[in-house]
Structure 1
Amino acid sequence: MARVETTSSRPYHLVIFGASGFTGQFVVEEVARTLSEGPKGSLKWAVAGRSKQKLEKVLEQAATVLSKPELRTEVDIIVADVGSPDSLAAMCKQAVIVLNCVGPYRFFGEPVVKAAVENGAHHIDISGEPQFLEGIQLNYHSQAADKGVYIIGSCGFDSIPADLGVLFTRDQFKGTLTAVESFLTLSTGSEGGCVHDGTWQSAVYGLSDQHKLQSLRRKFNHKPLPTAGPKLKRRGALFFSNEIQQYSVPFMGSDAAVVKRSQRFLTEEQKATPVQYGAYAGVGGLWNVIKLLFAGMMFFFLTKFSFGRNLLIKYPEFFSFGLFSKDGPTREQMEAASFQFAFYGEGYTEGQDPSKGKPNAKIRTLVRGPECAYVTTPIAMVQVALTILNESTAMPKTGGVYTPAAAFARTTLIDRLNKHGIHFSVV
């Protein structure tokens, strides 16, 4: 497979599409910050989006925040719009990798993937939308493989910590790891915290379209993955977790779906033992539980009707008790926030047969990092891009549509993340 390198016809290593969006602006800052660590001018990059003025403003802001006035003149601007296939094609022809920050991906994602595949650019996104991610795999995997192009979804907080966390736990376990449960806890500072409503929109439309996801999955004709060791029991919709000493719920994001796809790839392509996985999130004490139950019931009810979805989209702050807002968090809130994933794994020591008896060994690992949505996500996305540029020979031999763990199981991505503030450790 021919590797894509920068040439005069492909002048940029990285193009950030949607750079003026809420998340995109922080990806711009992270690229500028990270590239300043290397030799000057070693990587060429550009920002892209619909409005030249907004893109200029984002570069201006990044220049001020990072005290790098040169960003105003050294970073090129590409005008491209999801509604204009020609502009997307022109953008993708100029990039080795497109970092796509334009969501919700169910509405805006596919045209960018299509343009990337047809014009030979690798494509990474930060989607947490299983319907989009799996639809892209179904419709573009063989075409991307033919073109030698990598399409890698969920390269942000959804689902780098979970997907690589399971992989890390497996690699640190001495023997055969058969099952892992993860518990996510989020911390905020005295200012509190919130998430920009783009993520809220994805959740609203994702829940209302759940039946479509089931029919999409049937089209893959997947055989069930073999189970090593006892079947992992699913926990209830709300339970008190002894592991993290707080009330917990199944994690609503795409982590479980992404990890399952990774485990299928690692089982089928690398003959690994599949790891069963359960994803949970801590919600805190009793008052939080009451708020969550109330908000959850309203949310489930309203997503069933178009007028309800419109209400949810219009008033995210009201329906989420302030957790989501149209303004997103302040920089002070982001600086004080952090996340932790605790992974509890079990399996069999070397020489033990997983088909006989109960698991006889346990492992606990942690993935910790800064604020999840706008600090961790840009770090993860940028390190993914640099891994593709520098370690393509350690990735799957053919292009195609991959999850992070499938694409990067044999690379140094976890080491790169460790050096940039997302820490993987064994307890």
Structure 2
Amino acid sequence: MKEFDIIVCGATGYTGQLACEHLARSYGSELRWAMAGRDMAKLRSIQARFEVPSHVQLIEVDITDAAAAASLAERARTILSTAGPFANVGEPLVAACAHNGTDYVDVSGDAVWIRKMLDRYQEVAAGSGARLIFTCGFDSVPSDLGVFFLQELARERFGAPAKTVKGRIRRLVGGLSGGTLASGRASIQAAGADPKIPQLLANPFALVPGFDGPAQPVGNAPVFDPDVKSWVAPFILAGMNAKSVHLSNALLGWSYGKDFTYDEMIMLPGAEDADSAREAADANIWSNVVRALQIDLKPGEGPSEAELAAGSFEMIFVGRTASGQEISTTVTGEGDPYALTPRIVAECAVCLTQDGTTATGGVWTAAAALGEPLRRRLEQRAGMSFSVA
């Protein structure tokens, strides 16, 4: 038996602290877990601030050191990583987990880095039995699990999956963090230096190597959507979320169909025509990447406690089967996305260690590997709900 069920890496960062708070409040002494970070003084401060039980071990470590990362992986059943930017510091932990048969979850939303990890460690993890699950935060679990939930209902109701699904963000109250902005700026710099990166980012099937799927809705400009009776605009997380949804479809044996299409956009309340929709989209940080990246936040900074509590989101999913039968579902969350992300990734880690999964070693998504058990946990412990609209 390994020493710990879960080790939280990046525990002194903005998201890592909140993940530790969630584990402490929700599970207390139910889990054997530890907090890992670069600064022991900060670890002790976080332990005191969030009243983390004294049995939770504090581990001072540099996760960019391959030997140190391997030591962590040897001691835990699951590594939960919030330490980014992942493109700069994340690979040693992924490699260590893949080689040691240790499960891994993180909050990365960097499709380029995830594809590199898939290419380098899929076969290694398949051999060791490690389940590697990326994007276990606000991107991309609400979208990924939201589509999974809709498809389960569609098969139950109609005997067939939805051939097309739209994801529409009806409400999103929340801010951004310095860590996310740093990762976004690093991705843009990388894209400018490598012409292959923009192609990968534009490909909705980038995480399904060798699959050239059907044309997908573009979603790159405001349009009126009659299904939700609202103008909608591009959503800055849509690209990553769609890649996760399509990877889930592949991992689930194409249970949504090889001709499945998905797109995701944000609704613009109050927009009455194309001009007002463009103005609203330009002013929205969740729609305008340039505006979002102009926000001055340093890594470790993010929404205040009051802002975390005041935030929320609501997504609508509209699916249609090949024969035209329609189903609509809703996914909601209480709290800012940066309050939800640490809860979601923590529940992914707990689900892996406590609920079991038929997933074998390799790269997975949260929906494909954890599915219904994770959905129940998120409703019971993370302030989320999944319902028929």
TM-score above 0.5, yes or no: yes
Residue 42 in 1 paired to residue 42 in 2? no
Secondary structure of the equivalent of 1:343? strand
Secondary structure of the equivalent of 1:267? coil
Deviation at 1:407, TM superposition (A): 1.2
The equivalent of 1:364 in structure 2 is: 328
In the alignment, which of 268, 280, 283 is matched to residue 291 of structure 1? Answer: 283
Cα distance change on mapping 1:258 and 1:219 into 2, 3 Å: closer
For the pair shown, the structure with the greater C-alpha radius of gyration is 1
Q: Supply the distance in 2 between the matched residues of 1:27 and 1:298 (Cα, whole angstroms).
A: 29
The equivalent of 1:377 in structure 2 is: 341
Q: In the alignment, residue 131 of structure 2 is paired with which amino acid?
A: Y
Cα distance change on mapping 1:100 and 1:235 into 2, 3 Å: closer
Cα distance change on mapping 1:386 and 1:282 into 2, 3 Å: same
The equivalent of 2:308 in structure 1 is: 334
Q: Supply the distance in 2 between the matched residues of 1:362 and 1:336 (Cα, whole angstroms).
A: 33
In the alignment, which of 215, 219, 239 is matched to residue 223 of structure 2? Answer: 239
Residue 151 in 1 paired to residue 143 in 2? no
The equivalent of 2:144 in structure 1 is: 163
The equivalent of 2:375 in structure 1 is: 414
Under a length normalisation based on structure 1, what TM-score does the superposition of the two structures give?
Answer: 0.78
Contact 1:194–1:325 under 8 Å retained in 2: no
Secondary structure of the equivalent of 2:132? strand
Q: In the alignment, residue 365 of structure 2 is paired with which amino acid?
A: T
The equivalent of 1:304 in structure 2 is: none
Residue 212 in 1 paired to residue 196 in 2? yes
Q: Supply the distance in 1 between the matched residues of 2:63 and 2:163 (Cα, whole angstroms).
A: 42
Structural mapping, 1:83-122, within 5 Å: 83-122=64-103
Q: Supply the distance in 2 between the matched residues of 1:326 and 1:316 (Cα, whole angstroms).
A: 14
Secondary structure of the equivalent of 2:387? strand
Structural mapping, 1:304-315, within 5 Å: none
Q: Supply the distance in 2 between the matched residues of 1:58 and 1:132 (Cα, whole angstroms).
A: 29
Contact 1:247–1:289 under 8 Å retained in 2: no
Contact 1:56–1:72 under 8 Å retained in 2: no
In the alignment, which of 234, 244, 252 is matched to residue 258 of structure 1? Answer: 244
Q: Supply the distance in 1 between the matched residues of 2:206 and 2:376 (Cα, whole angstroms).
A: 36
Q: Which moved more, 1:248-257 or 1:199-208?
A: 199-208
Secondary structure of the equivalent of 1:195? coil
Deviation at 1:246, TM superposition (A): 4.7
Q: Supply the distance in 2 between the matched residues of 1:172 and 1:45 (Cα, whole angstroms).
A: 36
Unaligned runs of 5+ in 1: 1-6, 64-70, 301-311, 348-353
Q: In the alignment, residue 139 of structure 2 is paired with which amino acid?
A: D
Q: In the alignment, residue 338 of structure 2 is paired with which amino acid?
A: Y
Q: Deviations over 1:290-339 (max 9, x none)?
A: 4359x948569xxxxxxxxxxx5xx633xxxx9x9973111111111100
Cα distance change on mapping 1:249 and 1:33 into 2, 3 Å: same
Q: Deviations over 1:185-214 (max 9, x none)?
A: 4444xxxx4221211122223234344333
The equivalent of 1:395 in structure 2 is: 358
Contact 2:112–2:200 under 8 Å retained in 1: no
Under a length normalisation based on structure 2, what TM-score does the superposition of the two structures give?
Answer: 0.86
RMSD: 2.7
Q: Supply the distance in 2 between the matched residues of 1:387 and 1:100 (Cα, whole angstroms).
A: 15
Contact 2:242–2:262 under 8 Å retained in 1: yes
Contact 2:35–2:56 under 8 Å retained in 1: yes
Q: Supply the distance in 2 between the matched residues of 1:75 and 1:96 (Cα, whole angstroms).
A: 15
In the alignment, which of 235, 238, 262 is matched to residue 277 of structure 1? Answer: 262
Cα distance change on mapping 1:327 and 1:223 into 2, 3 Å: closer
Q: Supply the distance in 1 between the matched residues of 2:314 and 2:208 (Cα, whole angstroms).
A: 33
Deviation at 1:276, TM superposition (A): 1.5
Secondary structure of the equivalent of 1:151? strand
Q: Deviations over 1:108-134 (max 9, x none)?
A: 111110122223321100111111122
Contact 1:156–1:377 under 8 Å retained in 2: yes
Contact 1:125–1:155 under 8 Å retained in 2: yes
Count of residues in correspondence between the two structures: 366
Contact 2:347–2:374 under 8 Å retained in 1: yes
Q: In the alignment, residue 163 of structure 2 is paired with which amino acid?
A: T
Q: In the alignment, residue 92 of structure 1 is paired with which amino acid?
A: A
Q: In the alignment, residue 129 of structure 1 is paired with which amino acid?
A: D
Q: Supply the distance in 2 between the matched residues of 1:289 and 1:219 (Cα, whole angstroms).
A: 28
Contact 1:178–1:276 under 8 Å retained in 2: yes
Q: Which moved more, 1:21-30 or 1:367-376?
A: 367-376
Secondary structure of the equivalent of 1:209? helix
Contact 1:48–1:80 under 8 Å retained in 2: yes
Q: Supply the distance in 2 between the matched residues of 1:247 and 1:325 (Cα, whole angstroms).
A: 34
Q: In the alignment, residue 406 of structure 1 is paired with which amino acid?
A: A
